[in-house]
Amino acid sequence: MTAHGARAVERCRILADVPFSETPGSLFRFWLGPAYQRTLTQVAQWMEEAGLTTRLDAAGSLIGRYEGLTPGAPALMIGSHLDTVRNGGAFDGNLGVMLGIELVSALNEEGTRLPFAIEVMGFGDEEGSRFAAPMICSRAMAGLIESVPENMTDASGVTVADAMIRYGLDPAGLSEAARRPDELIAYIEPHIEQGPAIESADGEIGVVTAIAAQTRQRVTVTGQSDHAGTTPMTMRQDALTAAAEMILAVERNGASGGATQVATVGQIDVTPNTSNVIPGEVRFSLDMRAETNEARDAMAEAIRTDLRAIADRRGLGIAFDTPQYLPAAACAPELVEGLARAVTSVTGRPAQRLLSGAGHDAMAMVDLCPMGMLFIRSPGGLSHHPDETVRVGDVDLAHRALLAFVKEFQS
């Protein structure tokens, strides 16, 4: 069994460097890019070696299928995403796909076929690292989007439709990625925790009960560009100093709700971004998450109220755009219990249950079928960072737990 966990880790590390990254020396792989295409070719090869048949769906995601006792039977889907953030880590998303492959490899080695099929899913776009709307592929599969987002471009000015055409996909056919509910029994996403809870409890793996509600916004603050040397301090309409005050207000509001809510500004653009010109416009990201939709919405409204008050006091304009609004997603109770039993069977201890503050493709898949998540310890709680890592023993336990889960699972 240990070989399966070790191989999953080794393959994640292989995918963390060129030619599977756009940037030598660090990991960056975005949906429909050259490195993404090379990654899908490699992962498809590993899937086929494990006994899966492979195909691309209409959104450019990779699907491997291991038939059950009856060909064409509904499938239990296991997987995650293959894209990464810029300068990201080797295991975020990728490990879930590798664990799905290793699960099928173990079943195939035993000659085991189940009453249902197993599909291993490699979603193409979860992070939104190329376009502003994340989870395009899983939302398309769940039938939540039927056409490509319009007026949305990447950093090079390429639209979503153009990117699909260049990859050999038909933008008009995006809706064909949608699956019927009767095709899938459930979706299980193994994933690194991306936080410190499992490690702080001296655990190895845990079971997710729900995924926190999220909202992403883009805030635009508009002032007046002017000469930095001749404009008196009392006569300035400085968009950047206002944004600095606003960002502190975001931090204050995020901290006001305790451990179950967070608010983050992670990206900022300044215009004209010149040392001797007062900034006339600032755009910054605003990421807000909380355990429930109600708590998230209350925090978001409080933040918007504070930001508007700052803009009014300084005589500036402010606008909000919301490219992402995701409700909290509860894991199916029967899947939580099944995964918990499987975790206990391999660890000998009651399964730790956790809320996921990070977003996952499972948030979209809950609209299509029951979903559950298995978390693997993140040493140091570190993720979205080049030093993100896992322990082979933990990954082996996750593999064994997934194997126990699917063998017990009744469709």
Q: Which residues are annotated as a binding site for allantoate?
A: 216, 276, 289
Rounded distance between C-alpha atoms, residue 317 and residue 310, angstroms: 10
Residue 383 one-letter amino acid: S
Rounded distance between C-alpha atoms, residue 125 and residue 174, angstroms: 13
The closest alpha carbon to 94, from 81, 77, 105, 78, belongs to 81
- From residue 102, alpha-carbon distances to 98, 108, 175, 328 in Å are 6, 10, 30, 30
φ/ψ of 290, rounded to 5, equals -155, 165
The closest alpha carbon to 318, from 380, 391, 390, 237, belongs to 237
Residue 140 one-letter amino acid: A
Which residues sit in the known binding site?
A: 81, 92, 127, 191, 216, 276, 289, 384
| Count of residues making up the chain | 411
What is the crossing angle of helices 392-408 and 94-110, to 10°?
Answer: 60
Residue whose structure tokens are 């918990």: 340
Tell me the sheet residues that pair with 75: 117, 184
Which residues sit in the known binding site for Zn(2+)?
A: 81, 92, 127, 191, 384
The closest alpha carbon to 398, from 346, 353, 356, 333, belongs to 346
What is the crossing angle of helices 2-14 and 392-408, to 10°?
Answer: 120
φ/ψ of 316, rounded to 5, equals -115, 160
